[in-house]
Every structure is written in structure tokens, then in C-alpha cells.
Amino acid sequence: MKKTLTAILPGILLCALLAPPAFAQTSVVEDTPLIRQLRNAQADYALNQAAVRQGAKLATFCANCHGDNGNSTHPDTPNLAGQNPIYLLGQTLKFADGRRRYEWMEGLIKAMKPQEIIASAMFYARQPVTTKISPAGAALVAQGKVYYEKVCFRCHGPDGRGSETYARLAGQQESYVTLTLHRYRDGTGERTAPEMTTSTKLMNDEDIRAVAAYIASMK
Ligand code: HEC
Ligand code: HEC
């Protein structure tokens, strides 16, 4: 018997209700020569290996702040380990043209050759993240998890692993995340991204502390 639309419609609606909420991970990465060069290196085994080796050498310099293998030991300096290489490259381009402000990194990027920037991004993307235990306490972490799963997961993913356009958050430095969320919310000028201005607009200071504690504890 042929089913009519009215007969199957309730089923379709139920499926839509039960389906997991969709991600908003659709934003497209800007197509710059550097991004193209990175994608070429990713696609070629020999280029890939050479870039990771070069990135490892450069990392001895970055380690002063970003820690061994990109697991930072300075509270306000981000981990680079485990980030998507395209995301890292995208942030470097933002430092280079002043869309992201931090004097030291702006100067450093100008002193680096394009191939070195690509090699660093490819090296750090491969490094495992060492998650630290948040000193904030289990109750605040649990509160942060609820908030994260309401708002942040849509772009950063349920497990906080990020993508080419959205930062990996899992295991990120608690203090750095707190500082960064305040900057987006308060429009202090160091970071600008319309997605994050919108996402932090309704956060109070406690929401920020809770979410940062949860993020730091995510594996
Ligand atoms: C003197 C300390 C210092 C050194 C050395 C340093 N960085 Fe940084 N870097 C920072 C700080 C601090 C930030 C965060 C800036 C902010 O608050 O936005 C940062 C941010 C970054 C980011 C953005 C990360 C994110 O999660 O958005 C990238 C990528 C980066 N650095 C790459 C490098 C590389 C590659 C090197 C070595 C070639 C390096 N940095 C050396 C201090 C340093
Ligand atoms: C609509 C998509 C979207 C949502 C929802 C969203 N973010 Fe983001 N987030 C982004 C984008 C895009 C960036 C990169 C922004 C930039 O270039 O500065 C980012 C960057 C960040 C960063 C900086 C990471 C780094 O390594 O420097 C943090 C921290 C962050 N988001 C936390 C959150 C938290 C916490 C929530 C939930 C309250 C959230 N985000 C919700 C899109 C989103």
C-alpha cells in the first residue's frame, strides 16, 4: 500500500526530534597561498615528513613559551599540541595582518619564512595533548560541562577537538581560556571573531570560570 505524506509525516518529525543536534561546522577556510601550500604538503608523504622534521627543530624555540611538544606550562600561553594545522595557520595569518593582537607573536610571524610557519603548524598538530587536572573542583567542572553542551559544542564539537575553522579546546590551559573568553566578551581588541562575540555575550564571569575549568579537563 502506498503511504501518503500525512501518514509518514509524524515519523519524519519524530526522527528529526530524536536526531542528535547538528553541528554548525560549516564555515569555510579562506583560500590563501599558504593554506594551499599546507594542503599540498599534507597530501604528499615525503613533503609531510620533511615539514614535521623541520617543525620539530623550530619547536625548540617555541618551547620557551608553548612548552615541550606544545603543551604549555605558562598559564596564559596556549597549548599548540593537537590543534588542527589549518586552524594554527589561520591564527598565524591573523597575527600577521593584525586581526589578532599580541606583539610578540606579531613580530615573530613576520620574521618566519612561509615554509617555517607551515612546518610548525604541521608539527604541533601531531603532538598529543597532556590534560591537567583543574584545581577548580568537580562541581564547577560539572557546571561548565552543562554550559558547554548547550552552547559551545555546536562549533567546537562535543569532544572539543575542533576543526579547520574552530579551535581545539580539549585540554587547553584554563587561565588562557578564561582570559580569551573575557577578551571576546568585553571586546578588548586582541581577538575578534563574530562567532565568539555572539557566543560569549550572555556569559557571566562564573559561566566563564566554569566552562574554562571543564575545557581544561576535557581529554
Ligand atoms: C615569548 C613567548 C612565546 C614564544 C617564544 C612563542 N609564542 Fe606563540 N604565543 C605566545 C602567547 C602568549 C600566545 C597567546 C597570545 C594571545 O593571548 O592571544 C601565543 C599564541 C600562538 C598561536 C595561536 C594559538 C591559538 O591557540 O590560537 C600560535 C599558532 C603560536 N603562538 C605559534 C608559535 C610558534 C610556532 C612559535 C615558535 C616558532 C611560538 N608561537 C613562539 C607566546 C609565545
Ligand atoms: C558559532 C560557532 C562557535 C561557537 C558556538 C563557539 N565558538 Fe569558540 N570559536 C569559534 C571560532 C570561529 C573561533 C576562532 C576565533 C578566532 O579566530 O579568534 C573560536 C575560538 C575560541 C577560543 C580560542 C581558542 C584558542 O586556541 O585561542 C576559545 C577559548 C573558544 N572559542 C571557546 C568557546 C566557548 C567556551 C564556547 C561556548 C560558550 C564557544 N567557543 C562557542 C566559533 C565558535
Q: Tell me: the pLDDT tens digits for 165-177?
A: 999 999 999 999 9
Instruction: Work out the pLDDT band at 134, boundaries 50, 70, 90.
Output: confident
pLDDT of 122 higher than 50: yes
Tell me which residue of 63, 175, 75, 33 sits closest to 124, measured CA to CA: 63
CB of 166 within 6 A of ligand 2: the answer is: yes
187 C-alpha to ligand 1 centroid (Å): 21
25 residue type, one letter:
Q
Cα–Cα distance for residue pair 219/217, rounded to 1 Å: 6
* CATH code, residues 138-217: 1.10.760.10
The CATH 1.10.760.10 portion of the chain extends over 33-125, 138-217
Task: List the Cα angle 25/27/33 in 5-degree steps.
Answer: 130
Residue ranges around ligand 1 (CB below 6 Å): 58, 61-62, 64-66, 76-78, 80, 88, 91-92, 102, 104-105, 108, 120, 167, 190
Please determine, for residue 13, whether its predicted confidence score (pLDDT) is greater than 50: no
| Per-residue confidence (pLDDT) for residue 5, from 0 to 100 | 46
Contact residues for 158 (Cβ-Cβ < 8 A; gap 6+): 149
Residues 6+ apart with CB under 8 A from 78: 66, 72, 172, 173, 176
pLDDT given for residue 7 in this prediction: 53
Residue 197 three-state SS = helix
Using alpha carbons, list the distances in angstroms from residue 179 to 2, 26, 94, 120.
60, 27, 18, 24
Q: What is the pLDDT of residue 133?
A: 81
Q: What atom of ligand 1 comes closest to residue 58's alpha carbon?
A: 38
- Residue 197 CB-half CA count within 13 A: 9
Burial class, 47, CB count within 10 angstroms (exposed 0-12 / middle 13-18 / buried 19+): middle
pLDDT computed for residue 39 by the predictor: 95
Closest CA relative to residue 199, chosen from 161, 169, 164:
169
Q: Which of 103, 108, 118 to mutate to test the pocket of ligand 1 (most atoms within 8 A of CB)?
A: 108
State mean pLDDT over 23-45.
81
Q: Whose CA is nearest to atom 2 of ligand 2?
A: 155
Tell me which residue has cell 503511504: 3
| Residue-wise pLDDT tens digits, 48-103 | 999 999 999 999 999 999 999 999 999 999 999 999 999 999 999 999 999 999 99
Nearest CA owner, ligand 1 atom 43: 65
User: Hey, what's the cell of 21?
Assistant: 543536534
Predicted confidence at residue 31, as pLDDT, reads: 82
| Structure-block grid coordinates of residue 92 | 598565524
Global pTM reads 0.91
Residue 4 has pLDDT above 80, yes or no: no
Report the CATH fold assignment for 33-125. Cytochrome Bc1 Complex; Chain D, domain 2 (1.10.760)
Mutate to test the pocket of ligand 2, among 30, 155, 165 (most ligand atoms within 8 A of CB): 155
Give the position of cell 607573536: 105
